[in-house]
Chain A
């Protein structure tokens, strides 16, 4: 009898183990439907508020570097204004109506990971500021990533340093198109692929967004070429890219709402 009981106890443990693992796996794979649930929304709000508090301490440590960055950006913007004013004066008599290409919404990073294979960034603006999935995210240094998910007040960004994301880019000096992707190792490096071997690439060349998708406008810096490997028997060369955005010290980002984004994406979807 006691042997039977002991057998049953062991069996019950196995059942409990399998049940708990099944729950864990369901959570892991049904994240999309889970993310629409009430529990998830409550969680996101709670976790984000905890990170907001701890981040507030962290802000003090970054004050001086952030200030410096802002000053630099200020200077750059002032130059741009001057430049544009001159241009405007020249254009005034042609009286053409120009609409801006995109609207930028600045946001603060509340949580970011750089040490995983699937990294994520959480920012403090969401639906309340008109953010939606598939909008591009940049920093003052370059491309950051694409919005994956939005809640009422927060948004999850899929950064370049996530193996799921692929960004189309081009070499700035000769407009050759390729794709930027990440291999899961260093958060400062990425791979630039699909560049034919006959194209001459040298270390230091800039890679910028192609502007073909409605996510990023053309010409935003993604990174600079760090190393090129040519293989005589291969059609494409291996290019290592040094990412422009420093994901370790990312605190402020801008979300880009490109004009007619939804319209362009809808018509693109009819092609493939």
Chain B
């Protein structure tokens, strides 16, 4: 029960941080991190992919509402939820998979490989949908790279703090 409460709190906290702080960040026109996707990345293993996609749909929808971009975050988040098990299979070992949730604490270094893959896929899809043309493809790639790196840096920070606190 306490864990569920924590997850729900996490959900709103990440939305608030994304909408009120990170959406206002703008560096060189290239860096705007989307940290909210960390919620989908670290959802417990007990949540099935079907439910996870519905949660991602809701999460993306809320972020969309605040970003004036209907459907974009929805689409990217649902994709991340859908491919999460496959990406996890690539990097996590069999023992890792039996842990309660995919975090740095449980997975070790392979968590970062797993998270980096999902973050870059998510950012690429998002920036591509935002531009929606191949003529801005260079900008899209550059934005994916720069913003993805900053998002990963934030995730690294949060996960290390959680690791030390417990």
Contact = CB atoms under 8 A, between A and B. Distances in A.
B60 interface: yes
Interface residues of B, number: 34
Interface of B is mostly: helix
11 contacts: A16-B54, A17-B82, A23-B71, A24-B57, A28-B75, A47-B66, A114-B26, A184-B136, A187-B26, A187-B29, A248-B26
Nearest to B20: A54
Contacts of B67: 113
Interface stretch (A77-85, A115-123, A230-238): A115-123
A156 interface: yes
B166 to A, nearest CB: 32
A165 interface: no
Given A27-B71, A31-B70, A186 B20 contact: no
B49 interface: yes
A21 B75 contact: yes
Given A12-B50, A34-B70, A117 B131 contact: yes
B65 interface: yes
Contacts of B136: 117, 163, 184
Interface of A is mostly: helix
Interface in B15-36: 20, 23, 25-26, 28-32
B29 A115 contact: yes
A187 B79 CA distance: 30
B129 A50 contact: no
A12 B31 CA distance: 37
A27 B26 contact: no
The listed residue with most B CB atoms (<10 A of its CB), out of A24, A46, A47, A184, is: A24
Contacts of A118: 130-131
A13 interface: yes
Interface in A138-190: 156, 163, 184-187
